[in-house]
Amino acid sequence: MLQGLMMDRPLLTTGLLRHAAQNYGDQIITARFATEVPHSYCWRDAWVRTQKLAHALKSLGVAAGDRVGTLAWNDHRHLELYYALPGIAAICHTINPRLFPDQIVYIINHAEDRWLFIDPMFLPLLEQLWPRLTGVEGVVVLAPAAAMPASSPIPRLLCYETLLETQPESYDWPEFDENTACGLCYTSGTTGNPKGVLYSHRSSVLHAFGVIAGLGVRARDNVLVVVPLFHANAWGYPYAAAIIGAKLVLPGPRLDGKSIYELMETEKVTVSSGVPTVWLGLLAHLRSSGARFSSLKAVTVGGSAMPRTMLEEFESHGIDCFQGWGMTELSPVGSIGTLSPAETTLPLEQQHDAKMRAGRPIYGVEMRIIGPDGADQPHDGTAYGELVVRGPWITKAYYKDEKANNGAFTPDGWFRTGDVAVIGPDGAMSIVDRAKDVIKSGGEWISSIDLENAAMGHPAVLEAAVVGVPHPKWVERPLLVVVRKPGQSVERAELMRFLDGEVAKWWLPDDIVFVESLPHTATGKLLKTDLRQRFRDHPLPAAG
């Protein structure tokens, strides 16, 4: 076969930062912290400090292939680790500090992290866990010397800024195979141990291009990275922003509505991405304060299904709102719910219908839906099936976890997402439910997601979750669990009347329970395993 006559240059993440420094060197990166004053510098400064960090890592003995863990929020130091570690062929292992302590211990030991880089606020947690960490040689605190503790039970506790002080400002970056491991992130699964997804340089660079194309981010944008750097590659923003030279705004740990709004206004943020819980807080702040956006143009919602009321409220502020779908295993972005040119001419209600879908796959991601027997289901917008995917930034195996690999892939190598979906003739995909969350009633499926969204359309409902409860005739029936908005009132009968006509009659919940709060995973998803356990013996009126 005739080969093309093109140069073969490896796709390495270091090249992204070099590109940003050389071509968008003056573009700003600004960071907020829990206690430090805000910090701003530019892509050129980040390039210099990342090279100093590479020298510092080598001085600690970090070698190619070593895993180095981070327990940190979104700031410029964490961003530097995103580039320096892969740049020396080590692996940046981002750890979610919101996980249970036992899960954090498991992840660090399973990854065999040699060093940990942590924000100061996580030092008490790490000191508590230290005796259980089997292979960690030392800890670097991401802070200036003034923030270091006077003493600690951790024997090798170093200061990040002190480490960088005396290092050279240039580094001779190595070149190596683009398939070399680059980053490691563990899923925050609700059952069993978290599973590791090992990204490559090639997959991370290609995914960054996919994010740019899918989200439409440009050099003129000021991007607020609400999604944590420790969660699913921060949706590719640290790498995508370097390609286009966009301004990055890194919010640190303060993700309440008031703080996010003030940061957006101060930094003239134009685009942002985050999970629904963060956006609910932001919108609540706007309602209570009467504040308005002056620069924000678009937000992406991901991590869990976007409530229709959220879409409508953002658009009432003149903000383009759409949802994306993805998973840690997909690096994570798989599809974006933007409108086609034809859909932009539809009446507003139909545009909202279209935006409620998970959207079309971005180039590089292929999708199918399969039935229980593995047979392909038609893409007719009606047939349900398990969503399976493949592509150059989708995992082909979990890291050191043969048990997890068992059943995670189809016989022909497609990744089984565990999501139940429909795909339309136009390629747009809608998530019906998680396979484990879909309610099977009398041989038919009820989408807990659609029922939750319908309930959240009531003005007094802040959050809703639907789980299946055992039923003597129908096997299981839906139970709706609701959190009211502060100061609002709604009772069972009123909410039942509201839902009547919003969903099929046989989808209507058999009962409604009101609670103070709902349980969430470390990444903001509803923890339905807890709800199913809590309400497994709940007596349904219709079954009584």
Rg (alpha carbons) of the chain, rounded to whole number = 24
pLDDT band at 144 (very low <50, low <70, confident <90, very high): very high
Give me the pLDDT at residue 189, please.
Answer: 58
User: What CA–CA distance (Å, rounded) separates 179 from 12?
Assistant: 9
Catalytic residue among 30, 187, 328, 395: 187
User: What CA–CA distance (Å, rounded) separates 528 from 190?
Assistant: 9
Give me the pLDDT at residue 190, please.
Answer: 53
Residue with tokens 């047939």: 383
> Would residue 43 show up in a list of annotated catalytic residues for this protein?
no
Give me the pLDDT at residue 447, please.
Answer: 82
Q: What is the pLDDT of residues 268-323, one digit of tens each?
A: 999 999 988 899 899 999 999 999 999 999 999 998 778 888 999 999 999 999 99
> Would residue 173 show up in a list of annotated catalytic residues for this protein?
no
Say yes or no to pLDDT of 107 above 70.
yes
> Would residue 440 show up in a list of annotated catalytic residues for this protein?
yes
**Which domains does the chain possess?**
13-29+42-201 (3.40.50.12780), 365-434 (2.30.38.10), 439-543 (3.30.300.30)
Q: Between the CA of residue 460 and those of 256, 405, 486, 490, what are the distances in Å?
A: 21, 43, 8, 6
Q: Give backbone dihedrals phi and psi of 355, rounded to 5 degrees, phi first.
A: -70, -20
Q: Give backbone dihedrals phi and psi of 321, rounded to 5 degrees, phi first.
A: -125, 130
User: What CA–CA distance (Å, rounded) separates 477 from 348?
Assistant: 33
pLDDT band at 503 (very low <50, low <70, confident <90, very high): confident
Catalytic residue among 268, 396, 436, 440: 440
Catalytic residue among 267, 313, 329, 463: 329
The model's pTM: 0.86
Catalytic residue among 445, 485, 502, 529: 445
User: What CA–CA distance (Å, rounded) separates 74 from 209?
Assistant: 21
Q: What is the pLDDT of residues 311-356, one digit of tens each?
A: 999 999 999 999 999 999 999 999 999 999 999 999 999 999 999 9
Residue 539 or 521, more confident: 539
Contact by Cβ (8 Å): 337, 356: yes
Take residue 21 and report the two structure tokens written for it: 């420094």
Q: How many CA atoms lie within 13 A of 231 on its CB side?
A: 23
Residue 325 or 188, more confident: 325
Query: Range with the lowest mean pLDDT among 51-60, 425-434, 457-466, 516-525?
Result: 516-525
Q: What is the pLDDT of residues 46-104, one digit of tens each?
A: 999 999 999 999 999 999 999 999 999 999 999 999 999 999 999 999 999 988 899 89
Contact by Cβ (8 Å): 495, 514: no
